Amino acid sequence: MERSTWGTRAGFIMAAVGSAVGLGNIWRFPYVAYENGGGAFFIPYLFALLTAGIPILILEFTIGHRYRGSAPLSFFRMSGKKAEWLGWWAMFVSFVISVYYAVIIAWAMRYTLFSFNQAWGEDTEGFLFSDFLQLTVSPGETGGIVWGIFIPLVIVWVITLGILLAGVKKGIELANRIFIPTLVLIFIVIVIRAVTLDGAAMGLEAFFKPNFNAIMDPTVWVAAYGHIFFSLSVAFAIMITYSSYLPKKSDITNNAFITGFANSSFELLAGIGVFAVLGFMAAQSGVEVADVASAGVGLAFVVFPAIINEFPGFNGLFGFLFFLSLTLAGLTSLMSITETYVAGFTEKFGISRRKAVAIGGGLAALISILFATQGGLFFLDIADYYINQFGVAAVGLVEVVMVVWILRKAGALQDHANEISDIRLGGWWKFSLGVITPIVLGYMMFGLLRLNIFQQFETDTGNYEGYSNMFTLFGGVAVAAGALIFGILFSLGKWHKNYRYYDEHSEHPAKEKE
């Protein structure tokens, strides 16, 4: 069985950028920067990009390229069973994320249509929670299926799985070559319109005005490293899987630089667009930018619709473009997240891509219906928090510690990257991976563990968002722990004979062992 490959280098880069650029770039980065020193945040942000983001990207690109497999197979080929579980863990973290991420894309898709006549009306918050999400149940209860979410959810899965069925080159690559330039173009149009609005300068002032005192605060640095880490799609098994489809002669290091800078460039563009319209909103309402600045679901589905209502003209078009950009950014990320387990299942069980898409994607689609119920938002919120903090961040920490300190593979991987890349990796790469990243992620993880174990959130229950102990345990902790447990269980089984052996000097190792 010959391994799929990307058609072109640009195709691979588009796919990697498509994976990295997601909803977080639009609705998370601007607020994180604003909250953590405004313009001064760029200093820790750039440090984090160059000492954690890009080094981890290079690490994952190198692992995938050298061992030529999905994340579990690559780790298995690197060091056998003692490393394989880490790949499965990352893969199951991706599986969990895909099941709720699809639902957010479904919301964005529906809001794209709502934009034409501003169906959300004047009370955008009431519309989102009561009319659209029909959030009338308590956390932990499902209620009935919300058909207005279920139908676009089916469309999201049909598009995603259809693209994956078409394969790496004719599916993922082609889709990204269309979606990413379209997304960038749409966002440029949004930004041009946004910065020409009344009050835009006030928003940009709030976003860029540097508060240099903030960079003396260690939490700002942790926020910068945390953001870079979550933003680049590292520790998701994605970048390992994607780079395993690269041809043997590939410039890994420069590909990582392009991906990292492209992701940050888009974030900056998004920050300008978001804060320009927030400035407009503040000017219209006669309030400060601080009063309208927000992030996440609230920013996208409450604040933005309210801003679109106030637009001086072409309200429908602006809304359509904004929610279409969210949909496209989400779809390119979802296909990459889903590809991790399609590749993993194909290789572990020796099944066809079609079967892996049907089984893996079908199962994820089925589970995602839970998030299309009346209580779906609560399940989504708690799963998202726990899987990100104790899934993605934990995988990232364990990954760098294992590869650099336990398996001692950093040297071999550095040699491999240097052999095929123009930009040679020096001591900064190993130092970043072996020292800076573990310290920052370890510090972050320690704080998170303390916050959760000792229930130190400033809420009634002391839990995240004030959820009950039972809901926190089953909706969050069990989901994050489940990814690790499934990861360990899957690593116990044998690999299909086509993938069991590996000759790293061969172009097509699996084919030669058939």
Binding site for another protein (CB under 8 A): 9, 38-40, 42, 46, 201, 204-205, 207-210, 251, 254-255, 257-258, 261-262, 264-265, 268, 272, 422-423
| Separation of alpha carbons 21 and 427, rounded Å | 29
Distance in Å, CB of 214 to another protein, minimum: 13
Minimum CB distance to another protein, residue 219 (Å)? 20
- Structure tokens given for 296: 């996440």
Least CB distance to another protein at residue 196 (A): 14
CB of 423 to another protein, least distance (A): 8
Of 25 and 112, which CB lies nearer to another protein in the complex structure?
25
Question: Which residue, 30 or 72, is less far from another protein as judged by CB?
Answer: 30
φ, ψ (nearest 5 deg) of residue 340: -60, -45
Nearest distance in Å: CB 205, another protein: 5
Token pair belonging to 241 = 């899987």
Rank residues 41 and 120 by Cβ distance to another protein and give the closer one.
41
The amino acid that residue 82 corresponds to is K
Closest distance to another protein from the beta carbon of 475 (Å): 37
Encoded tokens for 259 = 């991906």
Count of other CB atoms within 10 angstroms of residue 514: 8
Q: How far is the CB of 10 from another protein (least distance, A)?
A: 9
Of 254 and 498, nearer to another protein (C-beta) is 254
Which of 261/431 has CB closer to another protein?
A: 261
CB nearer another protein, residue 261 or residue 349:
261
Distance CA 16, CA 334 (A): 12
Q: Give the shortest CB-286-to-another protein separation in angstroms.
A: 20
Phi and psi based region of residue 197 (left: phi greater than 0; alpha: psi -120 to 50; beta: remaining): beta
Cβ proximity to another protein, 209 vs 497, nearer residue: 209
Nearer to another protein, 116 or 212 (CB): 212
Residue 224 or 262: the one with the smaller Cβ distance to another protein is: 262
265, burial (CB in 10 Å: exposed 0-12, middle 13-18, buried 19+): middle
Termini Cα distance of the chain: 8
Instruction: Compute the CA torsion angle 263, 266, 268, 271 (nearest 10 deg).
Output: -120
CB-count burial class (<10 Å; 0-12, 13-18, 19+) for 2: exposed
Nearest in space to 239 (alpha carbons), one of 94, 360, 95, 98: 94
Nearest to 226 by CA among 363, 411, 35: 35
Nearest distance, CB of residue 2 and another protein, angstroms: 23
Query: Cα separation of 190 and 179, whole Å?
Result: 16
Q: At what angle do helices 218-231 and 437-453 cross, to 10 degrees?
A: 100
Q: What ranges in 286-352 are assigned the alpha helix state H?
A: 289-292, 296-298, 304-310, 315-349
- Please state the closest distance from residue 251 (CB atom) to another protein, in A: 6
CB of 424 to another protein, least distance (A): 13
Left (φ > 0), alpha (ψ -120 to 50) or beta: where does 280 sit?
Answer: alpha
**CA–CA distance, 4 with 150 (Å, rounded to integer):** 33
- Minimum distance of another protein from residue 257's CB (angstroms): 4
**CA 46 – CA 48 distance, rounded (Å):** 5
Report d(CA 113, CA 78) in Å as an integer: 48
Task: Report the nearest approach of another protein to the CB of residue 237 (Å).
Answer: 24
Question: Closest CB to another protein among 253 and 340?
Answer: 253
Contact call for residues 64 and 243 (beta carbons, < 8 A): yes
CA 382 – CA 292 distance, rounded (Å): 25
Taking the C-alpha atoms of residue 433 and residue 513, their distance in angstroms, rounded to an integer, is 34
Q: Which two tokens stand for residue 270?
A: 């998004």
Nearer to another protein, 131 or 205 (CB): 205
- Residue number with CB closer to another protein (422 or 460): 422
Strand, helix or coil at 101? helix
Name the residue nearer to another protein (CB basis): 202 or 237: 202
